[in-house]
Amino acid sequence: MDKNATYKEVSQQILSVIEGEPSATARYSSAACLLSQAFDYFFWTGFYVVDPVKQDELVVGAYQGTLGCLRIPFGRGVCGTAAATLETQIVEDVHAFPGHIACDSRSNSEIVVPVYDATGSLAAVLDVDSTEYGSFDEIDAKWLEELCSKLLIGATQH
């Protein structure tokens, strides 16, 4: 299956699993789980959510993979850059990214996509890390941005 077909299938699966689910946690967890199984080279899939108290800091949420760091200030690393700029970050070689936070040296490339709540505020970022270099491009960005734009529609609880 090519990338588009895989993303189409996993996106439909995630959206159908979370349909009608009020809990944001259940939605994030289901998406992290199903995405982790979509591609062999996905090494870490998960969410860093905006801390409700310290709103310029991300705290780790639902994920699949090895231990992730717990907190990332806005502006730091790839996740913090996505949160600060509200722009998807595609990094072909994480070791060459200034300020990259290395949670596990097996991660070699990554994509980070902002997630918004129903009011349009930043709620979280989706972080997908790959064991390979240069795994992510505009196709990944398009599908993951579309998924993230729908992820919290209908979520009314944390």
Provide, rounded to whole angstroms, the least separation between the CB of residue 68 and ligand SME.
3
Q: Which of residues 27 and 100 has its CB atom nearest to ligand SME in the complex?
A: 100
Among 11, 108, 110, 147, binds ligand SME (CB under 6 A): 110
What would the x/- binding string for ligand SME be over residues 3 to 32, using CB under 6 A? ------------------------------
Among 29, 45, 77, 113, binds ligand SME (CB under 6 A): 77
- Which residue lies nearest ligand SME, judged by its C-beta? 77
Q: Which of residues 30 and 89 has its CB atom nearest to ligand SME in the complex?
A: 89
Provide, rounded to whole angstroms, the least separation between the CB of residue 87 and ligand SME.
14
Q: Which of residues 61 and 68 has its CB atom nearest to ligand SME in the complex?
A: 68
AA letter at 142: K
Query: CA 127: distance to chain centroid?
Result: 3
| CA gap 152, 158 in Å, rounded | 10
| Chain positions contacting ligand SME, by CB under 6 A | 44, 68-69, 72, 77-79, 100-101, 103, 107, 110, 127, 129
